Structure 1
Amino acid sequence: MTSFFRVLATLCLVIAGMTVYAGSPPKLVVGLVIDQMRWDHLHRYQDRYGKDGFNRLLRKGHSFNNTFINYVPSMTAVGHASIYTGSVPAIHGIAGNEWFDLKSERMVYCTDDSTTHLVGGEEALPSMSPRQLLTTTWTDELMLASNFRSKVVGVSLKDRAAILPAGHKPTGAFWYDDKSGQFVTSSWYFQDLPTWVEKFNSRQLGQQLLAHEWETLYPAASYGQSTDDQAAWERPFKGAQTTRFPHQVKHLYQTDKGIIRNTPMGNTLILEFAKSAIESYRLGAGAFTDVIAINCASTDYIGHQFGPNSMEVEDAYLRLDQDLASFFKYLDKKIGADNYLVVLTADHGAAQSIGYLESLRFPTGWLRGKEKVKPLNELLAKRFQTDDLVKAIYNYQVYFDMAKIAAAGLDFQAIKAHAIGYLRQEPGVQFVGDMDNASQLSIPEPIRSMMVNGYHFKRSGQLMIIQEPGWFDGPLKGTTHGTWNPADTQIPLIFMGWKIKAGHSNERVHITDIAPTLSWLLNLQAPSGSIGKALHVQLKSD
């Protein structure tokens, strides 16, 4: 009878979508976040990928083909925080890459921490930490469960994409410094740069990788999935008169070390740095599960500059495919193919370039949020006899001067209603939500829930703007992200390696389901703010 109830309980958990596993955990978990990777990038170039990179993930992994971000704004820092916490901005507090702080009346960057200093580079400069992340991550929970005998390392070209995934007390987090062309860290983690990082920096690998100009990997005529090499909506490199290949990046690197971010070689650099971290900390070699959290960020920089349908983006993915194949081969030899678990996903996707959509006569437009502050303030001043009631429009949110409104004894509900009436009439605006009255919003799902999930009372604007599909607030050249639309919010999600059975699922799941799934797989407590569900990943038996 006891065994019957055990079986029944297990079945109930599986039906509920919870993965039950009590076998030996993986030696190493590789969190692999490809910045700005839309779900369709897995398949758009699939016939051009080799067999050992993205196609290995698709062939041997379990792919969740209908994975969506379930909040707005769909920004980089928010994505990384949500992947690793299983939560949303309303709870984990990372409301954007930056947000307007009404108390200090300034923009606040998501990982700024004036109590720390940079380690490596110019050490007198203030640095970064995960202090503003309000919940634990699954990497935090792993450290707690192992009594800090596991090792967790975060690496990225971007500070926020190394810091937030690694959690609050990791082994270390490292990112790229544009001024020195070296990897640095924060006094939150170390007082001195680890010797292995100094040795890696001394190799000057960035200079080696950009010893030649950026040419296409294959003949240009073979890039049939992309728009013409020269497009009006693409942004050229500094000093260039054209956006055509080859890109003269070799000489640019001599005066701007950050230029490597905007080339596929930035991904090569971070994966080589990740290998050095694995070697130096002997990740995957101990008695407890270790984690290397990797962000390949160059796909984001290239997408922002050229747009998602450009030859540059196609070339970046073809080169990244080769880099991933090499990295997986390294892990096979170093850790063992059945001893490591890869989780590939993205922090967000990207919209099509406005210029490209205009050329096709598709619905599109530029929202110009910042340009609405002045006319909105003039309108409100005329009605309420008080100047500058709006402090900023940022992240598709309207921030009001709450201190001024309170001091003048103004009716805030009336102010918001007046602002909403104005904004609703603006081109490209579909909905405007008063987030103080979110339960009353007459806005269709899932948009309303995404707004609620993305609203943090202390860090978000009181009104949230939802643009019409195809519209966004960003550059006229290249592209950006941040909206609720599927181009920005449908992302890849693949679990591969260790005991994962090959397969796929088409159910709608969310970015917030990743952390609880890993928590179940690793027998961990879910992170402190997790709202996601554990996904049913098919496993091989021991």
Structure 2
Amino acid sequence: MILTRRTWLLAPVLAALAACANPPSASSPATGAAPATPGPATSPFAAKPPPKLVVFMVVDGLPIRQVLGYRDQLQPDGFKRFLDRGAWFANAYYGHGYTVTAAGHSIMLSGAYPQRSGIIGNEWRDPMTAAPQYNTADPRYQYIGNKTEPLAGTSPNNYKVETVGDVLRTLQPGSKVIGISGKDRGAILPAGHKGTAYMYMGGSGEFASSTYYMDKHPAWVDAFNASRPADKFFGKTWSPMLPEAAYARSVPDGQPWQANSGNGNRLPAVLGAGMDGPGPRFYGNILPSPFGDELTLAFAKAAVEGERLGTGDRTDILSVSLSSHDYINHAFGPESRLSHDHFLHLDAYLQDWFKYLDAKVGRGNYIAVLTADHGFTDTPEWAKSQGRDAGRINPAQVVGVINAGLSKRFGEFRWALNMSGSGVIFDEVAIKIGGLNPDDVYAVAKASVEQIDGIQVAFTRAQLAGTDTTTPYLEQFRRSWYPGIAAPLQVVPKAGWMFGSRVTGTTHGSPYEDDTHVPLLTWGPAWVGQGRIEQRVEIVDLAPTLSAILHIPAPKQAQGRLLPLPAK
């Protein structure tokens, strides 16, 4: 692996960043000082040699309710390897409020919420200038051999904390840390500052790294891309895994609220239908199909072999974030047959993946962990048909209502500029010129936005910086709020409601169970026991636990504690 032209995030830098972070509330373990966890010498894993390979897996947008809801239809050794022969947590949650992909991926291997990491969302706007920001954008670097669009994700520069892999490579430079995903943020954030990330290029069908990590790809990456593996899916049919009757528990295809672009909204679906041959549009359509995961796992196998992962005398980490489920749930809803069927395809892919790892790395040499970056909210139209309160909130309406309230109080003007992440930003220059107290402006905006149908509550900067721990959802949004990056007014939709101007599909990003309750599954007979654990845990607990298994200190900004794994 070529490691050039990178900047290291060393301990002194982390200490300085910690001093700049939002002072956490001391009333909660998740926001106060990190709970004391056993050091490497005193942890329950101290007597066990660390694994040769950590296989860390993320299924983007997978709620635990789907894993358990389709358990009777699973393959013998896919998800069931975890559920039947591993240790898994039935009540694993995210504790932050704005549950989106980048935030989730930033938490898993750092153990730090966005209030410390600075990764408040996928994208946001600078609160002072309103300039667009992207979580892994870094204009100093470009994709290798592929076009780099403005704000493309190319480095972890915005990520203000270290990961398990960063600690591992600081102490053991010979260890390898590889992050792979269909999304740049899904590869870059788990790889941390000292790993190497490879992401799928929707314009070419290749996997590529960026010049943050290296000047040119290793030979194994060039060989993989030269074989044009994405082209092999042209004309391939996505067909249901099971007979029609097996999908009675999910919503049929072709509903008016299901997006009908890309590969359509009915099965079977032929990839590349109506196209002359593989090209950017086709390559983009691979991800919202099961074949996006198949292609990602093929690249992961190439990485295992090309980097000889798990064969040295040091532990390696391989992070694989499978993106397709998120795209499918966004387009069709987690209640859909398309989502149901994709999950079954994914289960079959996992079975093949584990068979490969058992043969290549050895069953006794690796530990596998699987989680998700967030869950998913049901499509509002489907939820309403079931008698639930649900709906869509147009972001432009939010800004308009706030401006109406502010103009009535402070004079006609466009005081609120845009929604940013989970909040609203304002014309701070105009507020200053007008001699107004910003906190007074935010308070009026709060009162205005809370009158909109579908809005649960809004939190001002003063609330987010305060110590109140009794107001519902405030603590969760405090964990999502990083001063100077996050908007000064955070807006929370009601359960079942979502922000968006589109009339099809659904999303995530709320503090409610549908979006926060995710799988946390482990397998590794030499390190973890077996069984279902009912105790509530948080995903921030994963980083300290993996660190203990690897006999290294937890990341400095980690806010979790050791998971209560069953004894071996």
TM-score by length of 1: 0.92
CA contact (8 A) 1:354 1:476 kept: no
CA contact (8 A) 1:338 1:499 kept: no
RMSD after superposition? 2.1
1:225 to 235, 246, 249: 249
The residue aligned with 2:522 is: 495
Equivalent-residue separation in structure 1 for 2:148 and 2:360 (angstroms): 34
Of 398-407 and 63-72, more deviation after overlay is shown by: 398-407
CA contact (8 A) 1:18 1:535 kept: no
| Match status 1:181 vs 2:205 | yes
Q: 4+ residue runs of structure 1 moved beyond 6 angstroms?
A: 123-126
CA contact (8 A) 1:156 1:175 kept: yes
In structure 2, do the counterparts of structure 1 residues 445 and 424 end up closer, same or farther at CA, with 3 Å as the change threshold? Answer: closer
The residue aligned with 1:529 is: 557
Equivalent-residue separation in structure 1 for 2:43 and 2:313 (angstroms): 26
The residue aligned with 2:121 is: 96
Aligned to 2:146, the other structure's residue is in SS state: coil
TM alignment of 1:200-219, pairs within 5 A: 200-219=224-243
TM alignment of 1:502-541, pairs within 5 A: 502-540=530-568
In structure 2, do the counterparts of structure 1 residues 444 and 309 end up closer, same or farther at CA, with 3 Å as the change threshold? Answer: farther
Equivalent-residue separation in structure 1 for 2:567 and 2:550 (angstroms): 13
CA contact (8 A) 1:348 1:481 kept: yes
Which consecutive unaligned segments of at least 5 residues does structure 2 have? 1-36
Equivalent-residue separation in structure 2 for 1:25 and 1:108 (angstroms): 39
The residue aligned with 2:31 is: none
**1:326 aligned partner, one-letter code:** D
Equivalent-residue separation in structure 2 for 1:200 and 1:164 (angstroms): 23
Of 358-367 and 243-252, more deviation after overlay is shown by: 243-252
| Match status 1:389 vs 2:408 | no
Q: CA deviation at 1:266?
A: 0.5
| Match status 1:325 vs 2:347 | no
1:153 to 154, 173, 178: 178
**1:190 aligned partner, one-letter code:** M
Equivalent-residue separation in structure 2 for 1:85 and 1:137 (angstroms): 4
Equivalent-residue separation in structure 2 for 1:282 and 1:29 (angstroms): 13
Q: CA deviation at 1:18?
A: 6.3
| Match status 1:430 vs 2:456 | yes
Deviations 1:339-376 (A, max 9, x none): 10111000000000011012122111112223221332
TM alignment of 1:477-492, pairs within 5 A: 477-492=504-519
In structure 2, do the counterparts of structure 1 residues 275 and 433 end up closer, same or farther at CA, with 3 Å as the change threshold? Answer: same
Equivalent-residue separation in structure 1 for 2:148 and 2:424 (angstroms): 36
**1:523 aligned partner, one-letter code:** H
**1:31 aligned partner, one-letter code:** F
CA contact (8 A) 1:118 1:124 kept: no
The residue aligned with 2:389 is: 363
The residue aligned with 1:57 is: 82
| Match status 1:468 vs 2:490 | no
1:416 to 420, 442, 452: 442
The residue aligned with 2:21 is: none
Deviations 1:40-66 (A, max 9, x none): 122111111111101111111110110
In structure 2, do the counterparts of structure 1 residues 230 and 137 end up closer, same or farther at CA, with 3 Å as the change threshold? Answer: same
**2:496 aligned partner, one-letter code:** G
Equivalent-residue separation in structure 2 for 1:198 and 1:328 (angstroms): 25
**2:239 aligned partner, one-letter code:** E
Q: CA deviation at 1:20?
A: 4.2
Q: CA deviation at 1:169?
A: 1.4
Aligned to 1:176, the other structure's residue is in SS state: strand
**2:136 aligned partner, one-letter code:** T
1:198 to 202, 222, 225: 222
CA contact (8 A) 1:19 1:517 kept: no
CA contact (8 A) 2:528 2:567 kept: yes
Identity %: 33
Equivalent-residue separation in structure 2 for 1:436 and 1:418 (angstroms): 13
TM alignment of 1:11-90, pairs within 5 A: 19-90=44-115
TM alignment of 1:301-320, pairs within 5 A: 301-320=327-346
Deviations 1:484-521 (A, max 9, x none): 01000000001101422112211111111111111111
Aligned to 2:140, the other structure's residue is in SS state: strand
Which consecutive unaligned segments of at least 5 residues does structure 1 have? 1-11
